[in-house]
Amino acid sequence: MSEPLGTPDHPATTGVERRTLLRAPAAAVAGSVALGALGALGGAAPASAAVARQVMYRAWEGPRLLRTGQLDSVVVDATGALAMPANARLRTTLNGKTYAGGAWYSPWVREGYAFTELIPSWAAVTPGDSFIVVEVRGKDAAGRTSSWDVMARWATGDSQVRRTSFGAQTDDLANVAVDTWRSSSATGLRDFQLRVSLYRKVGATTASPTVRSVGAMTSRLPSGSVQPSRPLGIAKTLPVPQFSQMVHSGHYPSYGGGGQAWCSPTSVSMVLHYYRALPTSSAWSWVPAGHVDPWVDHAARMTYDTTYGGCGNWSFNTAYANQRVASAFVTRLKSLREAEEFIAYGIPLIASISFARGQLSGSPIGATNGHLLVISGFTPEGDVVVNDPASPNREGVRRVYQRAQFENVWLPKSGGLVYVIRDAAHPLPPRGTRRNW
């Protein structure tokens, strides 16, 4: 008897990545994949040219780059972050309350290709009754400008403002699918601009929300299965601790259905623990005594998206991690060769996959429309060592997946999407001519 996509633990109608399976079509473009500084570790590039996977990540971080944008009732403060002055002039209302605010506009960015998707990332803190709003707009090849589309209203906590995405917004050149901004046409878009607005309740606090970085990943990807990449020869496994989402089954169903759906916050918690950057016990003191790994419950609460109704919003997960580490952002990799470079530099990755029955041997679940796990290393043969939170217990979290199978449930499905989370002690691998991190 065949099994449909989705399992009781990862149902097709509520899987954390149900919005990623259908993508705007993109024309395949011939070209080779750059290998970067670590290419020599695994020998020469494959002889045959690969279909190009076009991915670009751009970030504005630090006073110099943030000042290249337009500042409207915001300033770059002494720490190098965006903040509100005392006389911020913008006004908005939310839940019957009035908020003062200001806005930062990125420069217009022209990509070297017609991109079909954009996913934002940010690092922010919102004290008291304050929040930020992240928006994007774009231009097509004809020069037409889209409306501003809201990607998120986001807050550090949830006692005053509930963080949320905003639904489809299908009015003109692009539409929103939770955390992903998609071109409405296969021809794609040429330019984009970000706007980040900072708000605090009038009369409630003088503390300002702060934004220390804003980023965006654009992509245009081929469709169809991929040929497995040749390993770089990096046989290394990072000591990422093993947490199971399944031990939280039934915990807090108001947060996306409960622990059985918490693959993303569980994976983030594993990586934060690897960096010794989990929140202190005061952050999760609200979790009843006896709950295993209560920091996972906390991470689920702090990544929950009220409109989406789940904890799998990619941007929300890296925004949560950004409060604990030096940098966290969403991007796409072009093959497992790039993932091997991160492992060589001591940086585990959180990857988004989806698969039908029989497509991923050794998985603790039969099939899923969306699942996240940690890439923690590689075997001498180039197979992928993972921490898969779908294991029913901690002991089964560490698994090895075949390289060819993994690339085909990752690259054609989520486009090779990963969360890159690192602390100050772990610099990014040299990117060479690549611009996807």
pLDDT value at position 51? Answer: 53
pLDDT value at position 180? Answer: 98
SS3 226: coil
> Within 13 Å and on the Cβ side, how many CA atoms surround 210?
16
Q: Is the pLDDT of residue 164 over 90?
A: yes
SS3 423: coil
Same domain, 202 and 322: no
Same domain, 251 and 343: yes
| Spatial separation of the C-alpha atoms in residues 308 and 172, rounded to whole Å | 22
Q: Decide if 23 is inside a domain.
A: no
- Of 220, 254, 274, the one marking the end of a domain is 220
Average pLDDT estimate for 388-414: 98
pLDDT value at position 205? Answer: 72
Same domain, 292 and 209: no
Q: Decide if 45 is inside a domain.
A: no
Q: Decide if 99 is inside a domain.
A: yes
Q: How many CB atoms lie within 10 A of CB 342?
A: 23
Average pLDDT estimate for 189-200: 98
Q: Decide if 4 is inside a domain.
A: no
Share of the chain above pLDDT 90, in %: 85
pLDDT value at position 26? Answer: 32
Same domain, 278 and 335: yes
| Spatial separation of the C-alpha atoms in residues 268 and 15, rounded to whole Å | 17
pLDDT in tens, 212-263: 999 999 999 998 999 999 999 999 999 999 999 999 999 999 999 999 999 9
Query: Residue 361 belongs to what domain range?
Result: 227-422
Q: Decide if 288 is inside a domain.
A: yes
**For tokens 């903040």, what's the residue?**
83
Same domain, 265 and 400: yes
Same domain, 256 and 233: yes
Structure tokens at 31: 């070209």
Q: Is the pLDDT of residue 3 over 60?
A: no
**CB neighbour burial string for 263-293, b if at least 16 within 10 angstroms, e if fewer:** bbbbbbbbbbbbbeebbeeebbeebeeebeb
Average pLDDT estimate for 378-406: 98
Q: Which helix (H) or strand (E) holds 385?
A: strand 384-387
Same domain, 81 and 139: yes
pLDDT in tens, 31-65: 222 222 333 333 333 323 345 899 999 999 999 99
Identify the sign of the CA torsion 184, 187, 188, 189.
Answer: negative
Same domain, 170 and 232: no
| Spatial separation of the C-alpha atoms in residues 330 and 351, rounded to whole Å | 10
- Which CATH number do you get for residue 346? 3.90.70.10
Same domain, 184 and 241: no
pLDDT value at position 52? Answer: 87
SS3 331: strand
Same domain, 316 and 412: yes
Same domain, 278 and 191: no
Segments of 25-116 assigned E as strands = 54-61, 70-72, 75-76, 82-83, 90-94, 97-105, 109-115
Give the residues across from 154 on adjacent strands: 132
Question: 275-281: long-range contacts (C-beta < 8 A, 24 or more apart)?
Answer: 275/324, 275/325, 275/421, 275/422, 275/423, 275/426, 277/324, 277/325, 277/423, 278/324, 279/324
- Of 220, 241, 263, the one marking the end of a domain is 220
Domains: count for the chain: 2
Structure tokens at 149: 């589309």
pLDDT in tens, 256-305: 999 999 999 999 999 999 999 999 999 999 999 989 999 999 999 999 99
Taking CA atoms, 35 is separated from 85, 222, 320, 348, 378, in Å, by: 45, 19, 31, 19, 17
Q: Is the pLDDT of residue 7 over 90?
A: no
Same domain, 262 and 372: yes
